[in-house]
Amino acid sequence: MQEDRLRFGVHTACLVCPLRANPNFRDFTPEELEFVRNFRSGELHAGAGTAIFNEGSQSSHLYTTLTGWGFRYKTLPDGRRQILNYILPGDMIGLQGALFEEMNHSVEALTDMRLCVFERKPLFSLFEKHPGLGYDLTWIASREECILDEHLLSVGQRSALERAAYLLAFLHHRALASATLSTDTRSIPITQAHVADTLGLSIVHTNKTLRKLAVSGTLRWLDRGCEVLDAPALQRIAKWTPGKATARPFL
């Protein structure tokens, strides 16, 4: 929450961008790379627990996640919180704030995060000069929509057990796809309170539900984290299968 945990770092070149090394992401043409390098205005470090965006605020920046985990959420006036989606390396943050007047959701860092910073203003020139990148932005927005569709199906129709299984299968799948699990701690860095606020369940019931999954051997709960042991079993319980992955655009 503390603003002082946000700090801007040195202007590292895109050439050493950890995302470009990842085969899950698509390559830029040299011209595109050059444009993005200029578009980019710096790097930001956000400590775990830091607020990156607040609902209702205006923003002159947008970010691409380089490392770390975060989440998007909305709240009701009385404090009820709904987590909308999680943010992993390669994900863009704040596109809504760049297109509309203000953000209508908040973003918080789950772990320490490294973010690539872009100015909001030259966004339109991106569409003018590099139609391919404009296309990518539409692609990115559409992909987020797909994920939200699936979450809505989950919260609206699935039982507590199915929902929990879906969420962890989903996060596990995404972590693998952005190659954060193999390199990093191998566990998903969330608390049961996060799971509860994602699934629309109480913390108590979330705990009992996760316990069931743990005794069935499909996952293991650690302190403030979860390790998925049997992803196919979780997918079967949730009646969910991940979509086929294609080379993702980013930035």
Partner DNA sequence: CGGATTCTTGAGGTACCTCAAGTGCGGTGG
Partner DNA sequence: CCACCGCACTTGAGGTACCTCAAGAATCCG
Does the footprint of its own copies cover residue 107 (CB under 8 A)? Answer: no
Cα–chain center distance at 181: 14
Sorted by sequence, the CB contacts under 8 Å of residue 32 that are 6+ apart come out as 130, 132, 133
Name the residue nearer to its own copies (CB basis): 67 or 86.
86
- Check binding of 193 to DNA (CB under 7 A): yes
Phi, psi of 37 (to 5 degrees): -60, -35
Give yes or no for residue 205 binding DNA (CB under 7 A): yes
Which of these segments, 3-11, 24-32, 108-116, 154-162, binds its own copies (CB under 8 A)?
A: 154-162
Whichever of 39 and 170 has its CB closer to DNA, that residue is 170
Q: By CB under 8 A, name the one of 38, 49, 139, 186 that touches its own copies.
A: 139
Q: Does 73 bind DNA (CB under 7 A)?
A: no
Q: Is the Cβ of residue 96 or residue 206 nearer to DNA in the bound state?
A: 206
Could you tell me the CA-to-CA distances from 19 to 22, 26, 48, 64, 94 in Å, in that order?
5, 9, 21, 10, 19
The Cα–Cα gap between 43 and 66 comes to 9
List 107, 110, 179, 210, residue binding DNA (CB under 7 A):
210
Q: Is the distance from CB of 251 to CB of 93 less than 8 angstroms?
A: no
Which residues in this chain contact DNA in the complex, by CB under 7 A?
A: 159-161, 191-193, 200-211, 214, 221, 223-225
